[in-house]
Amino acid sequence: MGRTSRGKKDLDTARKARPNPMPKVFSALQVALSRAFHWRTLVIWFGCSLLATYSGPFGTYGDPSVLHSLLIWMVLIGSSIVTVYVLNALNELFLAKLSSFIRIVVFIGVSAIATGSLVHFLLIYVFAHTSDPILSRGELSSYSLAVISFIHIVRLILPFSVTDQISNKGASEGELSSASLPPHSRLAKRLDIPAGVRISQITANGHFVSVETSEDVYRTRMRFSDAVAELDGIYGLTVHRSHWVHRNSIVGWVPRAKKPYVLLNNDRSVPISKTYLANVKNAGLTILDPEDVEVEQSL
C-alpha cells in the first residue's frame, strides 16, 4: 500500500514538474487571431479579394458570377492570412530560443508550403469551378513564397506594423503602449543594442537596470523610470515597480495565485504590484489556472 502510494506521489510530482504547453499555445493562437482580424488586416483582405476577382488569377477568371468569384477569393485570401498569422505565432513560441534569422527562414518556408497547399485544396475540392487549368501545389507554393518574402522584406524596411497597432482597451497609456514599434529606441541606442533586436524585459536592481533581449542581457546605471521612458512607446507593460515586460513576452497572468503574477514565454514569472494590478486586469491578458503552470520566479 505504501509503495503504491509512493509511486502515485512520484507520478504526480513528475506531472507537475513537466510544464504544460497548452496555456502558451492557446495564448499564442488568441493573439494570432486578434491580429488576423484586426481592422487594418480586414481592409487589406477585402481589397486584395476585389483585385483578385477582377484579375482572375489561377483559373478563376472564367467564373460567370462576380459575386461567386469574390466569395472564392475572400475565402482563399482570408484562410491564407489566418494560416500565416497562426504559423507565425507558433513559430515564435516553439522556436523562441533560435536566432531570428532561422525563425524567419522557417516561418517563410513553412508558410509558403502551407498556404500553397491550402489554396490548391480549396480550388480543387471546394471551388471546383474554373475554366483554366489550376496550378500545381508546388507552383502555388512558389507564388506564396514570393508574396510572403516580399511582405516580410517590406515590414523589415518600414517601421509600421499592424501587429504593433493592436491596443488593449482600458489600459493606461503610461503602462501599455500600442504604438508602432520604433526602428531603434533611445534605450537601444544607449546600450548599442543592434537595430531590429527586441527588448523583452527591463529589471531594476538598486541603482542599475538589466535590459534583456532575445540575444543578450545589458546592464547599465540608470533609474528604472528613465529606462522605461527611453523605450519610446515600445509595446509593453510595467507589472512591478522594478519590472517592465514586452507584451509579446507575456503568455498570460494568474490572478488566483496567493500573489498574482504574469507568466512569461521563458517559463519565468513576475509578481504584480498592487499599483499596476488594475492595468494588468485591463490589458486583455489570458487568465491562467495556477495548477496548470510550472514557473520559475523572476523576482
Summarize pLDDT for 140-173 with one digit per residue, the tens. Answer: 888 889 888 888 777 666 544 444 444 343 333 3
Is residue 113's pLDDT more than 90? yes
Is beta strand 296-297 parallel, antiparallel or unpaired with respect to 268-271? parallel
Taking only the tens place, the pLDDT of each residue in 52-80 is 888 777 655 566 678 888 888 899 999 99
Domains belonging to the chain, first-starting first, are 19-158 (no CATH), 186-297 (2.40.50.1020)
Name the residue among 86, 87, 81 with its Cα closest to residue 44. Answer: 81
DSSP label at residue 260: -
Q: Which residue in 38, 141, 128, 29 sits closest to 88, CA to CA?
A: 29
Burial level of 46, CB count in 10 A (0-12/13-18/19+)?
A: middle
Tally Cβ neighbours within 10 Å of residue 264.
21
Q: Is a pLDDT exceeding 60 seen at residue 26?
A: yes
pLDDT tens, position by position, 258-286: 889 998 888 888 899 888 888 888 888 88
- Give the bridge partners for 202, in sequence order: 211, 244
For residues 14-40, give the mean pLDDT. Answer: 71
Q: Which residue has the higher pLDDT, 110 or 157?
A: 110
DSSP-based three-state secondary structure for 288: coil
Q: Cβ neighbours of residue 218 under 8 Å, at least 6 residues apart?
A: 191, 193, 210, 211, 212
Q: How many CB atoms lie within 10 A of CB 85?
A: 23
Do residues 81 and 41 make contact, with C-beta atoms less than 8 angstroms apart? Answer: yes
Instruction: Give me the sign of the Cα torsion angle 180, 183, 186, 190.
Output: positive
Per-residue pLDDT for 248 more than 60?
yes
Q: How does pLDDT run across 114-135, given as a tens digit for each residue?
A: 999 998 888 888 877 554 566 7
100-121 helix and 66-94 helix, angle to the nearest 10 degrees = 150
Unique residue bearing C-alpha cell 510530482: 13
Residue written as cell 504574469?
Answer: 262
Strand, helix or coil for residue 106: helix
